Amino acid sequence: MRATTPAFVLRRVRWSESSLILTLLSLDFGRISGIAKGALRPKSQYYGQLEMFSCTEISLSRREGRELDTVTGAVALNHNEGIRRDPLAFAFACLFAEWVLATVTHDNEPVRSVFLLFGEVMNRLAGDDAPWSVICAGIERLLRFTGHGIETGTCTRCGREAGKCPEWDPLSGGVVCDKCLSNEQNISPGLLEYLRKAGSREFNEVVKTRLWPGGFRQCHDLMREFAETRLEHRMSLKSLSVVEDIENADRG
Ligand SMILES: [Zn+2]
């Protein structure tokens, strides 16, 4: 079957002398993998069209039951150069891509909402918004869109209103009311308020939210622990240390 779809390049792995194996987040087929033969040759039709995080109109030859498609054409729709020009924006984009790769599997139904979210996050990372706030707003939505949403309103044990100072239990999916007290963990009131806002407001508004210094990092780590509990696997998030290195260098 031949197909064409817009797709973001999430991962590029060199395969053989001149070919690439790509992991793509596509509008029409969700997460797919494709081999682009000869893509690394300077005169290749793919040259400059399949850079990290660019949004590309990609043509594929797909075969039922095969994990790896063959790329037959690629024309970049949006190069997202702003991301690749700025090391910190690039590191954050890598971090978000790692989150997408951890939560979106090949078996997922086409996830248009995740595709659109990815584009939005890339635009904002290339712009003036604070990157940690973009990342946290993006991850909160990503978890919801992939079926791992954080419950912040009703008790995950009994379904009653969880109240102002609930407990926190990633295993049951979020907050726990005081009637179902379980001596689990607490969640900081500030993070709970942020997550409630993130779950109910427009992305644009959530991105503009400010937290205390280090608050978004705490929020990221809370969502990471939540996701790892729900997904039952650790996420390596290698880009996180790159983000930290760049931030520390900027501070020093
Ligand atoms: Zn309860």
Provide the pLDDT confidence category of residue 246 given band limits of 50, 70 and 90.
Answer: very high
Which of 46, 79, 112 corresponds to the end of one domain? Answer: 79
**DSSP letter string, 98-117:** HHHHHH--TTSPP-HHHHHH
Q: Are residues 69 and 179 in the same domain?
A: no
Q: Are residues 149 and 172 in the same domain?
A: yes
**DSSP letter string, 70-97:** EEEEEEEEE--HHHHHSHHHHHHHHHHH
Cα 107 to middle of ligand 1, angstroms: 33
pLDDT digits (tens, 9 = 90+) for 146-177: 999 999 999 999 999 998 889 999 999 999 99
Q: Are residues 102 and 66 in the same domain?
A: no
Cα 175 to middle of ligand 1, angstroms: 9
Q: Which helix (H) or strand (E) holds 120?
A: helix 112-126
Cα 185 to middle of ligand 1, angstroms: 15
Q: Are residues 86 and 60 in the same domain?
A: no
Report the number of distinct structural domains present in the chain: 2
CA separation for the pair 181, 37 (Å, rounded): 57
Torsion over CA of 130, 135, 137 and 139, rounded to 10 degrees?
Answer: 180
pLDDT at 110: 66
Cα 176 to middle of ligand 1, angstroms: 5
Provide the pLDDT confidence category of residue 207 given band limits of 50, 70 and 90.
Answer: very high
Q: What is the mean pLDDT of residues 23-38?
A: 95
pLDDT at 106: 75
Q: What is the mean pLDDT of residues 54-58?
A: 97
Cα 155 to middle of ligand 1, angstroms: 5
Nearest to 223 by CA among 182, 195, 190: 195
CA separation for the pair 184, 45 (Å, rounded): 56
Cα 156 to middle of ligand 1, angstroms: 7
Q: What is the mean pLDDT of residues 171-184?
A: 86
pLDDT, mean over the chain = 94
Q: Are residues 88 and 46 in the same domain?
A: no
Q: Are residues 245 and 186 in the same domain?
A: yes
Cα 246 to middle of ligand 1, angstroms: 43
Ramachandran assignment for 68, one of left (phi > 0), alpha (psi -120 to 50 degrees), beta (any other): beta
Q: Are residues 36 and 138 in the same domain?
A: no
Provide the pLDDT confidence category of residue 102 given band limits of 50, 70 and 90.
Answer: very high
pLDDT at 31: 94
Cα 10 to middle of ligand 1, angstroms: 40
Q: Are residues 184 and 235 in the same domain?
A: yes
Cα 183 to middle of ligand 1, angstroms: 13
Q: Are residues 102 and 53 in the same domain?
A: no
Token pair, residue 3, equals 């197909």
Token pair, residue 137, equals 């707003």
Q: Are residues 204 and 188 in the same domain?
A: yes
CA separation for the pair 97, 79 (Å, rounded): 16
Cα 163 to middle of ligand 1, angstroms: 10
pLDDT at 181: 76
Provide the pLDDT confidence category of residue 66 given band limits of 50, 70 and 90.
Answer: confident
Cα 145 to middle of ligand 1, angstroms: 25
CA separation for the pair 240, 252 (Å, rounded): 18
Cα 159 to middle of ligand 1, angstroms: 6
CATH no. for residue 210?
A: 1.20.1440.120
Which of 79, 113, 132 corresponds to the end of one domain? Answer: 79
CATH no. for residue 71?
A: 2.40.50.140
- The rounded percent of the chain whose pLDDT value lies above 70 is 98
Cα 164 to middle of ligand 1, angstroms: 13
Q: Are residues 63 and 90 in the same domain?
A: no
Count of C-beta atoms within a 10 Å radius of residue 57? 15
**DSSP letter string, 199-246:** HHS-HHHHHT---STTHHHHHHHHHHHHHHHHHTS----THHHHHHHH
Cα 196 to middle of ligand 1, angstroms: 18
Q: Are residues 190 and 201 in the same domain?
A: yes
Which of 20, 50, 79 corresponds to the end of one domain? Answer: 79
Tell me which residue range forms the domain holding 35: 2-79
pTM, two decimal places: 0.95
Ramachandran assignment for 7, one of left (phi > 0), alpha (psi -120 to 50 degrees), beta (any other): beta
